[in-house]
Chains A and B, each alone.
Chain A
Amino acid sequence: MADVVLSVAGLVKAIGGKRIIHDITFEVRAGEVFGFLGPNGAGKTTTIRMLVGLAAPDGGDILIGGESLRNQFSRAISQVGCIVENPELYKFMTGRENLELFARMSGNITTERIDEVVEFVDLTEAIDEKVKTYSLGMRQRLGIAQALLHKPKLLILDEPTNGLDPAGIRELRQFIRKLAEEEGLAVFISSHLLSEIEMMCDRVAIISKGRVISVGSVKSLMEQFADQVDFQFTERSVDQGVQVLRQIPYVTEVWTLTEGHVKCKMDVERIGELNQSLVAAGAEVIGIASKTVTLEDLFLTLTGGGDAHGSEHAGTHSK
């Protein structure tokens, strides 16, 4: 197994006397993209601030490449590149001047390295323009250039796709995969969008109200939600529909939801066959949708409250 680059154990933080982060523990390994998934206000940014030394934890340990962030700040932080929230740079200076500034703060960075990074993020043309003329996407890329300048082992990005257009998001995704797979970087990414984490990450920690409620591979997480289909019946035929569904052998689980929705676990390939059985039994089906899993579904499942009253979002099956 690859080296552990970031190890967080028992992290605790209170702000203004109120506990915001409770006992967060996880590890990130070299060459993997690690997702940090949670709704707004879950404590992602607060955690990241502690990981990069902007805020001091009230308890727990952060080790980066084996060095303690608290006791060996310089040695630990020199292995980290980060963008916390927005890519903030000096707008009144050019992209290159910004990079030179950070180069002087990190030490031992040659002009060749700056050129190399600029080329890597594809900013060669605009690098001598003032940053205030850059688009958000360009700032994002300059932010990444800044984060990669000193060849970190760990890249930390806080909701990096915020504000990017779909093309920008796709580009960023490919870029991050490339960094992890080709350069062997450990990448730590926070997001409140499940779809994003699902597409980008190898493993994920799910955080809610300042606690990690699950850590595991994205694949195993998503498998829990595979093959779910949502049927909608007219009010008067719901009971009949449910009865039919429960009798069909290839429908393994059935949940009754509100407004005539019934969720069941089954092979998506057999929707048509099932529909015929329903129609034959006289149940009035007014909608069928294979589900897109949402963060809410995930939480309901993980916290064990996902039976009857889950919020449902119908969508087309996209995989």
Chain B
Amino acid sequence: MGASMLGLIQNETLKLMRRRRFLVVILILAVLIPIFTYAQFKTVQTAQERLGTSDWRSLLQQRIVDNQNRLASSRMPEEWRQWLKIQIAQQQYYLDHNIDPSAPSGVTFSRGFMDQAVGLFLPMIIVVLAVDLVSSEYSEGTIKLLLTRPVRRWKVLASKYLTLILFVSLTVLSALIMSYVISGVVFGYVGWDMPVLTGFQVVGGELDTSTVFMLPQWQYILLQYGLSWFVCLVVGTITLMVSVLVRTTAAGMGIMMAALISGTILTQMAQSWEQAKYLFNVNLQITDYLAGSLPPIQGMSLPFSLTVLSVWGIVSLIVAFMVFTRRDVTS
């Protein structure tokens, strides 16, 4: 008697696939990534026309010399010296391994793609996946069949959540694979070992470079996609809660899109409204911490954003389970 969790997940997966949700996600990626690739290609082309392509080695050589000269001059704070040394090491590595740092590769493209996608594009895709997970059962009336089986309600919702986690993971993985494979056609499939700088810290509103170190690009990407996966998971969890609370897909979609887009707007104009940093939607640009750009609001850091997102995720999950297991089904 009763159902196994695996059987329930199988059911949810089947429903999600049959509703073509994942197919839509893959199609969106398959259409947009080539467009971004082409845009990137044009940018590179324009840059190369301006600067010329052949002399990147001498340009890099020149920059190393410049940095060394600055290093040699006295009256420089210790952390600046540190920063210059790391930059020189990176540039030297590029030179030694014959890597043109400004030339795009499939791997670099994937990295840049996620930097751009994690704030809005990817969360939107996750919303498409998750928004009608529960609300559609209510609007189509199938909830009546789902909840009159010998399966406890928490187990029904848990199976939906686990299925969501599965598809969030598949989506992030697909984004990586597709951006690498598609852009690689144009830019080549190299660049996994290229060193990338990370480890920036923000101290008192200033970027602190004293803790910066080099990381092979594949490790960087692993870190970056891992963090993005977490962002997507939290957005998915919040969407699941909304899906439990509202009755129609349109309402859920509206709420989530408004939240995501207002987050993007807030990150651009909320410098003076410090409390905004506790909203989940201004904490989505999580890969920026790796790349070392200044956060949109003072007091934000990687651990801070991870904490805010975790709290939102946990609270959403609790609300979703409480409401779903207690609420009467009426029509």
Q: Mark A41-72, 1 if CB is under 8 A from B, else 0.
A: 00000000100111110000000000000000
B140 x A93 contact (CB < 8 A)? no
In the complex, A97 has a CB within 8 A of chain B? yes
Known: A56-B328, A105-B11. A77 touches B1 (CB 8 A): no
A104 x B329 contact (CB < 8 A)? no
In the complex, B4 has a CB within 8 A of chain A? yes
Known: A88-B140, A93-B18, A104-B8. A82 touches B148 (CB 8 A): yes
Identify which of residues 185-243 in chain B touch chain A, using a CB-to-CB cut-off of 8 Å.
Answer: none
* Closest beta carbon of chain A to B150's beta carbon, Å: 4
A77 x B149 contact (CB < 8 A)? yes
In the complex, A78 has a CB within 8 A of chain B? yes
Count of residues in B whose CB is under 8 Å from the partner chain = 29
A75 x B330 contact (CB < 8 A)? no
Residues on A with C-beta less than 8 A from B142 are 88-90
A88 x B18 contact (CB < 8 A)? no
Roughly how many angstroms separate A52 CA and B151 CA in the complex, as a whole number? 13
Residues on A with C-beta less than 8 A from B2 are 74, 78, 106-107
Known: A88-B142, A89-B142, A90-B18. A105 touches B1 (CB 8 A): no
Known: A56-B328, A93-B14. A105 touches B151 (CB 8 A): yes
Roughly how many angstroms separate A154 CA and B11 CA in the complex, as a whole number? 25
Among residues of B, the one whose C-beta sits closest to the C-beta of A51 is B148
B149 x A106 contact (CB < 8 A)? yes
In the complex, A21 has a CB within 8 A of chain B? no
Count of residues in A whose CB is under 8 Å from the partner chain = 32
Identify which of residues 263-313 in chain A touch chain B, using a CB-to-CB cut-off of 8 Å.
Answer: none
B328 x A75 contact (CB < 8 A)? no
Residues on A with C-beta less than 8 A from B4 are 107
Roughly how many angstroms separate A75 CA and B3 CA in the complex, as a whole number? 12
Residues on A with C-beta less than 8 A from B328 are 15, 49, 54-56
B14 x A102 contact (CB < 8 A)? no
Among residues of B, the one whose C-beta sits closest to the C-beta of A49 is B329
B329 x A106 contact (CB < 8 A)? no
Roughly how many angstroms separate A165 CA and B309 CA in the complex, as a whole number? 55
A75 x B18 contact (CB < 8 A)? no
A55 x B329 contact (CB < 8 A)? yes
Residues on B with C-beta less than 8 A from A105 are 3, 7-8, 11, 146, 149-151
Roughly how many angstroms separate A106 CA and B2 CA in the complex, as a whole number? 5
Identify which of residues 1-36 in chain B touch chain A, using a CB-to-CB cut-off of 8 Å.
Answer: 1-4, 7-8, 10-11, 14-15, 18-19
A77 x B150 contact (CB < 8 A)? yes
Among residues of B, the one whose C-beta sits closest to the C-beta of A78 is B150
Roughly how many angstroms separate A92 CA and B16 CA in the complex, as a whole number? 11
Among residues of B, the one whose C-beta sits closest to the C-beta of A108 is B1
In the complex, B331 has a CB within 8 A of chain A? yes
* Closest beta carbon of chain B to A191's beta carbon, Å: 18
Among residues of B, the one whose C-beta sits closest to the C-beta of A81 is B148
Residues on B with C-beta less than 8 A from A88 are 140-142, 144-145
Residues on B with C-beta less than 8 A from A92 are 18-19
Known: A84-B144, A93-B18, A146-B145. A101 touches B150 (CB 8 A): no
Residues on A with C-beta less than 8 A from B151 are 74, 105
Roughly how many angstroms separate A121 CA and B312 CA in the complex, as a whole number? 49
Roughly how many angstroms separate A230 CA and B41 CA in the complex, as a whole number? 91
Roughly how many angstroms separate A85 CA and B144 CA in the complex, as a whole number? 10
Roughly how many angstroms separate A74 CA and B1 CA in the complex, as a whole number? 8
In the complex, A127 has a CB within 8 A of chain B? no
* Closest beta carbon of chain B to A116's beta carbon, Å: 19
Residues on A with C-beta less than 8 A from B150 are 73-75, 77-78, 105-107
* Closest beta carbon of chain A to B258's beta carbon, Å: 28
Q: Mark B150-174, 1 if CB is under 8 A from A, else 0.
A: 1110000000000000000000000
A106 x B3 contact (CB < 8 A)? yes
In the complex, A91 has a CB within 8 A of chain B? yes
Residues on A with C-beta less than 8 A from B19 are 92
* Closest beta carbon of chain B to A100's beta carbon, Å: 9
Among residues of B, the one whose C-beta sits closest to the C-beta of A93 is B18
In the complex, A86 has a CB within 8 A of chain B? yes
In the complex, A80 has a CB within 8 A of chain B? yes
In the complex, B147 has a CB within 8 A of chain A? yes
Residues on A with C-beta less than 8 A from B15 are 90, 93, 101
Roughly how many angstroms separate A146 CA and B146 CA in the complex, as a whole number? 12
* Closest beta carbon of chain A to B211's beta carbon, Å: 52
Residues on B with C-beta less than 8 A from A84 are 144, 148
A97 x B147 contact (CB < 8 A)? no
Identify which of residues 117-148 in chain A touch chain B, using a CB-to-CB cut-off of 8 Å.
Answer: 146
Residues on B with C-beta less than 8 A from A102 are 145, 149
Known: A90-B142, A101-B14. A15 touches B330 (CB 8 A): yes
Among residues of A, the one whose C-beta sits closest to the C-beta of B147 is A54
* Closest beta carbon of chain B to A108's beta carbon, Å: 7
B330 x A107 contact (CB < 8 A)? no
Roughly how many angstroms separate A92 CA and B21 CA in the complex, as a whole number? 12
* Closest beta carbon of chain B to A162's beta carbon, Å: 14
Roughly how many angstroms separate A106 CA and B14 CA in the complex, as a whole number? 17
Which residues of B are in contact with A by a Cβ distance under 8 Å?
1-4, 7-8, 10-11, 14-15, 18-19, 140-142, 144-152, 326, 328-331
Q: What are 10 A-B contacts defined by CB distance under 8 Å?
A: A56-B328, A74-B1, A74-B150, A75-B1, A78-B1, A78-B149, A90-B142, A105-B3, A105-B151, A107-B7
